[in-house]
Amino acid sequence: MNNPFENGQIHDALVPIVIEQSNRGERSFDIYSRLLRERIVFVTGQVEDHMASLITAQLLFLESENPKKDIYMYINSPGGVVTAGMAIHDTMQYIRPRIGTVCIGQAASMGSFLLSAGEPGMRVALTNSRIMIHQPSGGAQGMAADIEIQAREILRMRHDLNQLYAKYTGKPLEEIERAMDRDKFMSATEAKEFGLIDEVFDKRPTPAEEPTAAAA
């Protein structure tokens, strides 16, 4: 008998379906596709190549739909692969719409990096979110020369990440390097004080209270 927990069958079965009525009849969407129509993108779980491909495709699609309308990215991620996170990050910077980032649950490692990379003034976390930053890590094996090459690459990635965190937080590079040396966990309020986000929300703001992009 087939195991329903394999191949994501249970996960897929639990995704709600939304039915909409129109003059053309009924249309059904899974809940994520319906929210994508509202320009909401989810970054959930491990950041890896397949997820990065899906996220970048959604961002490019939303830009083609309306290059002037904001996109909101909800993040609940423990982090993952640096190169996959960079693919999402670079697409966020490349496209024309502003991207507001929202932390729900946790944003750790590459999750916190993507959170900080949102449009200045539009980076928020919900009250009980947890945010964590740290330096990249990697396993090296093989001949000594290969291990040395991989170690240099990890150090280069660490330098690049530190510079970007400094840019997004407004902190001096030296302070970022000290903070990133080990796992640094923060509450939503502490993340705001550190400069990773701009606001902490416990209720959805009214239109007049919604965060707006910081002035250039």
* Contact (CB, 8 A) for 108 and 171: no
Each domain of the chain, given as residue ranges in start order, spans: 10-134+183-201
Query: What angle, 0 to 180 degrees and rounded to 10, lies between the N-to-C axes of helices 144-169 and 82-94?
Result: 40
pLDDT at 115: 99
pLDDT tens digit sequence for 87-130: 999 999 999 999 999 999 999 999 999 999 999 999 999 999 99
When pLDDT is cut at 50, 70 and 90, the band that residue 204 belongs to is confident
Superfamily of domain 10-134+183-201: 2-enoyl-CoA Hydratase; Chain A, domain 1 (3.90.226.10)
pLDDT at 139: 58
Q: Decide if pLDDT at 12 tops 70.
A: no
Return all residues near 178 (Cβ < 8 A) that are at least 6 apart. Answer: none
For the annotated catalytic residues, the residue numbers are 109, 134
Instruction: Please state the rounded mean pLDDT for residues 173-178.
Output: 96
Query: Phi then psi for 18, rounded to 5 degrees?
Result: -105, 130
When pLDDT is cut at 50, 70 and 90, the band that residue 6 belongs to is very low
pLDDT at 3: 43
pLDDT at 28: 78
pLDDT at 195: 98
Rg (C-alpha) for the chain, rounded Å, is 19
Strands (DSSP E) contained in the chain are: 17-22, 25-30, 40-44, 71-77, 99-108, 123-126, 130-133, 184-187, 199-201
User: Which of the two residues, 176 and 147, has the higher pLDDT score?
Assistant: 176
pLDDT at 155: 87
* Contact (CB, 8 A) for 202 and 126: yes
- Cα 169 to Cα 173: distance, rounded to the nearest angstrom: 10
Q: Three-state SS for 125? A: strand
Q: Please report, in angstroms and rounded to a whole number, the separation of the first and last CA atoms in the chain.
A: 60
Residue 100 Cα distances to 131, 162, 180, 197, 212, angstroms: 17, 21, 24, 10, 9
When pLDDT is cut at 50, 70 and 90, the band that residue 7 belongs to is very low
- Cα 103 to Cα 77: distance, rounded to the nearest angstrom: 9
User: Which of the two residues, 27 and 63, has the higher pLDDT score?
Assistant: 63
Q: Decide if pLDDT at 213 tops 50.
A: yes
* Contact (CB, 8 A) for 108 and 136: no
pLDDT tens digit sequence for 182-203: 999 999 999 999 999 999 999 9
Output the six-digit token pair for 56. Answer: 């970048």
* Dihedral angle sign, alpha carbons of residues 60, 64, 70, 72: negative
pLDDT tens digit sequence for 39-87: 999 999 999 999 999 999 999 999 999 999 999 999 999 999 999 999 9
pLDDT at 208: 65
